[in-house]
Amino acid sequence: MPVGTQGSVKSLSPEDLEDAGVRIILANTYHLYLRPGHEVIGRLGGLHRFMNWSRPILTDSGGFQVYSLAGLRRISKEGVTFQSHLDGSKHFIGPEEAIEIQESLGADIIMTLDECAPYPSDYDYVLNSVKLTTLWARRCVEKKRNKAQTLFGIIQGGMYSDLREMSARDLTKMDFDGYAIGGLSVGEDRETRDRVIKETRDFLPEDKPVYLMGVGAPEDLVEAVMLGVDMFDCVMPTRNARNGTLFAFTGRMNIKNVQYVDDERPVEKGCLCYTCRHFSRAYLRHLFMARELLAYRLNTIHNIYYYMHLMEEMRCAIEEDRFDSYRRHFYKLQGKS
Amino acid sequence: MPVGTQGSVKSLSPEDLEDAGVRIILANTYHLYLRPGHEVIGRLGGLHRFMNWSRPILTDSGGFQVYSLAGLRRISKEGVTFQSHLDGSKHFIGPEEAIEIQESLGADIIMTLDECAPYPSDYDYVLNSVKLTTLWARRCVEKKRNKAQTLFGIIQGGMYSDLREMSARDLTKMDFDGYAIGGLSVGEDRETRDRVIKETRDFLPEDKPVYLMGVGAPEDLVEAVMLGVDMFDCVMPTRNARNGTLFAFTGRMNIKNVQYVDDERPVEKGCLCYTCRHFSRAYLRHLFMARELLAYRLNTIHNIYYYMHLMEEMRCAIEEDRFDSYRRHFYKLQGKS
């Protein structure tokens, strides 16, 4: 799902998202807690109304952003004390606060507060982090009041197979509506990541959605879907768009390249996104070189549409029991067969 | 008309402009000549196709931007030699080149190359500038080939009544499709500007459109329409939008102000623009404070709609022969009666 860090998916309106086929967006609790504040959003009727977005929203627990504030945060059994990256003010978020904030924001799917261990971390650190994550998950379940919201638990355990198993067993006992695999995409190699996804997936119930957090590139999605993952979130389509990298089924392109200066073709032949239906590579290159704001929007629309299209194709292939052949086709189109 | 400096009206798509009621946009010859180059745009089928904009386009002659390059340009009888603000490369644009470039771009309305005298300038300087403007206008008329494009002449003459008269008499002899009043909005006071508009207007034919270049604020438009002006171009609605200043019939507002933090109302009650129909002041303030790209687009949509609405109201008032009363109403709403 596209990520809306601060109450919008960067450069897009709700209609842009709907037109690109987006069914759910992610909003970052940490950012919205600090600005404009979850109480403000709560008073204004919640995030859906604030953003004018009527489809589902998922909010993260704020944990991941807080851990990224290295040097500015301290973790205890109670929760996390941290300083705002905006003004240095001091704040505390524990599992109860994470739920309270997410209830004010009013997303459809909310997440437990977890501790994402740095990579690499030694066994004892990760063991402790798994225990803390379980403890906090239980406190989140106990705190949660709003039955209209579904709560996902987050599995941790670093790259240690037995700790992933421990975390998955602890959390599945609490019978969450869905399960997220956290603590990946933190610097580990591809092989390790795939192993951990597979091992973690094996301990999760078949009938609940599995959400791989913070992943990833198109090929990462294809591999993870093969391993049984259902949901993803990532800044990759939007951030790349703003850097001029456009995704296509035949590979990526850097729209800055001089070869596109008078290229009349759309980004990808046959693509039905708004951008490809209306504008040439030459125009997109020109807007980008001239740093026109429209460049970021048109690029983002294309990349989001590409991701939605890829996920839709994978859903179809799974339903029609031909995922392996779709996967081969996917790599073949990119010249990687 | 909204200004599309580099091939887009900053932050807006063609649909955004159409939805806001925009019927014509201005594109800057100087910027497009340098990047991506008028030949590139010509090869790609012209500016309409390049931008995917099917309604009318007006291009300026490039003169005004070139004159703004103080220190980087030299004016002779032949034309202007200047250095690119992008890479310092040397270029020459004379009246023939101005027409050639504008024919490649393919706008519906094109402009003669003129010399806009700095303000203040002494009589002799402005006299010479009027003569040069007349000479260049004649060469533009002689060079022009494409009958599908209409050509407007630009009146100069600084703040000198007799030189405005001279320039207007010179140009009207050439029977242009429309006339622009150039050389204003360059630092003169309101009273002087109104006098020059009035004096220049008196020498122009009743049945040709009169276009006041580079003006202005809403009250400037109301005053100039009263003096007989039909067309305007200005960066004010778009640039102000990007700085957080929003126009409303009851006055301007700075969306950054803390008073809007939980203000659920639209920018202006009753405004039918996309922004006002979907988003609160609180959300717009939040997006702006968080520097979200969507802020610039939503603010720009509102300001452009406001300007289009104001012009439409004035057209109606003129047709119904009640412009004076409309003008009083306009100031009264702003608390200036």
In this complex, is the C-beta atom of A85 within 8 Å of any C-beta atom belonging to chain B?
A: no
Cβ distance B264 to A44 less than 8 Å, yes or no, reads yes
CA distance B182 to chain A (A): 27
CATH architecture for the domain at B3-234: Alpha-Beta Barrel (3.20)
Mean confidence (pLDDT) of chain B: 96
CA gap A277, A284 in Å, rounded: 12
Say whether A299 sits in a helix, a strand or coil.
helix
CA distance A147 to chain B (A): 27
CA gap B210, B204 in Å, rounded: 8
Cα distances (Å, whole numbers) of residue A7 to A14, A185, B4, B242: 11, 24, 28, 18
And the tokens for B181?
């009043």
Say whether B174 sits in a helix, a strand or coil.
coil
How does pLDDT run across B114-152, given as a tens digit for each residue?
A: 999 999 999 999 999 999 999 999 999 999 999 999 999
Does the structure show a pLDDT above 70 at B308? yes
In this complex, is the C-beta atom of B281 within 8 Å of any C-beta atom belonging to chain A?
A: no
pLDDT mean over A251-280 = 98
CB atoms within 10 A of CB A323: 17
% of residues, chain A, pLDDT over 70: 100
Residue labelled with tokens 């700095």 = B118
Q: Which residues pair with B58 in a beta bridge?
A: B26, B109
CA gap A294, B16 in Å, rounded: 11
Cα distances (Å, whole numbers) of residue A20 to A303, B11, B312: 9, 19, 34
Determine whether A19 is an active site residue: no
β B25-27/B3-4 pair status: parallel
How does pLDDT run across A29-40, given as a tens digit for each residue?
A: 999 999 999 999
Q: What DSSP string runs through A118-186?
A: -SS--HHHHHHHHHHHHHHHHHHHHH---TTSEEEEEE--TT-HHHHHHHHHHHHTT--SEEEE-S-SS
Say whether B224 sits in a helix, a strand or coil.
helix
Instruction: Taking each helix axis as running N to C, give the angle between helix B95-105 and helix B123-143, from 0 to 180 degrees, rounded to the nearest 10.
Output: 50
Q: Chain B interface, mutation test: which of A8, A48, A304, most B Cβ atoms within 10 Å?
A: A8
Reported confidence tier of residue A268, pLDDT bands at 50, 70, 90: very high
State the number of CA atoms in the 13 A half-sphere of A306 facing the CB.
30
Determine the pLDDT at residue B133.
97
Tell me how many degrees the CA angle B23-A8-B252 measures, rounded to the nearest 5: 50
Determine the pLDDT at residue A292.
97
Mean confidence (pLDDT) of chain A: 96
In this complex, is the C-beta atom of A287 within 8 Å of any C-beta atom belonging to chain B?
A: yes
Assessment of whether the complete model's pTM goes beyond 0.90:
yes
First to last CA, chain B: 27
Determine the pLDDT at residue A287.
98
CA gap B48, B42 in Å, rounded: 10
pLDDT mean over A250-266 = 98
Reported confidence tier of residue A337, pLDDT bands at 50, 70, 90: low
And the tokens for A136?
């906090």
How does pLDDT run across B2-53, given as a tens digit for each residue?
A: 888 889 999 999 999 999 999 999 999 999 999 999 999 999 999 999 999 9
Determine phi and psi for B92, rounding to 5 degrees: -135, 130
Say whether A64 sits in a helix, a strand or coil.
helix
And the tokens for A123?
């066994």
Interface predicted TM-score (ipTM): 0.95
State the number of CA atoms in the 13 A half-sphere of B59 facing the CB.
30
Say whether A43 sits in a helix, a strand or coil.
helix
**Does residue B80 contact residue B98 with C-beta atoms inside 8 Å?**
no
Does the structure show a pLDDT above 80 at A147? yes
Q: Which long-range contacts (CB under 8 A, 24 or more apart) does A286-291 make?
A: A286/A261, A286/B6, A286/B7, A286/B35, A286/B36, A286/B50, A287/B6, A287/B7, A287/B8, A288/A244, A288/A255, A288/A256, A289/A256, A289/B35, A289/B36, A290/B6, A290/B7, A290/B31, A290/B35
How does pLDDT run across A34-62, given as a tens digit for each residue?
A: 999 999 999 999 999 999 999 999 999 98
CA gap B220, B225 in Å, rounded: 8
pLDDT mean over A290-294 = 97
Determine whether B233 is an active site residue: yes
CA A198 to chain centre: 19
Determine the pLDDT at residue B327.
98
Tell me how many degrees the CA angle A308-A313-A213 measures, rounded to the nearest 5: 50
β B3-4/B253-254 pair status: unpaired
Q: Dump strand ranges (E) for A41-79.
A: 57-59, 73-75
Q: Chain B interface, mutation test: which of A286, A296, A298, A301, most B Cβ atoms within 10 Å?
A: A286
Q: Which helix (H) or strand (E) holds A4?
A: strand A3-4
In this complex, is the C-beta atom of A297 within 8 Å of any C-beta atom belonging to chain B?
A: yes
**Closest Cα to residue B223, out of B312, B119, B305, B323?**
B323
CA gap B139, B13 in Å, rounded: 36
Does the structure show a pLDDT above 70 at B337? no
pLDDT mean over A147-156 = 98
Which of A261, A264, A294 has its CB closest to that of B36?
A261
pLDDT mean over A130-141 = 98
Determine the pLDDT at residue A69.
79
In this complex, is the C-beta atom of A269 within 8 Å of any C-beta atom belonging to chain B?
A: no
Reported confidence tier of residue A64, pLDDT bands at 50, 70, 90: confident
Cβ distance B286 to A6 less than 8 Å, yes or no, reads yes
pLDDT mean over A94-116 = 97
CA gap A328, B38 in Å, rounded: 44
Tell me how many degrees the CA angle B40-B154-B4 measures, rounded to the nearest 5: 40
In this complex, is the C-beta atom of B50 within 8 Å of any C-beta atom belonging to chain A?
A: yes
Does the structure show a pLDDT above 80 at A70? no
Cβ distance A36 to B264 less than 8 Å, yes or no, reads no
Domain spans, chain B: 3-234, 239-333
Determine the pLDDT at residue B70.
73
Determine the pLDDT at residue A3.
87
CA distance A119 to chain B (A): 30
pLDDT mean over B210-220 = 96
CA distance B134 to chain A (A): 34
Query: Residue B173 contacts by C-beta under 8 Å, 6 or more apart in sequence?
Result: none
Please name the fold of domain A3-233: TIM Barrel (3.20.20)
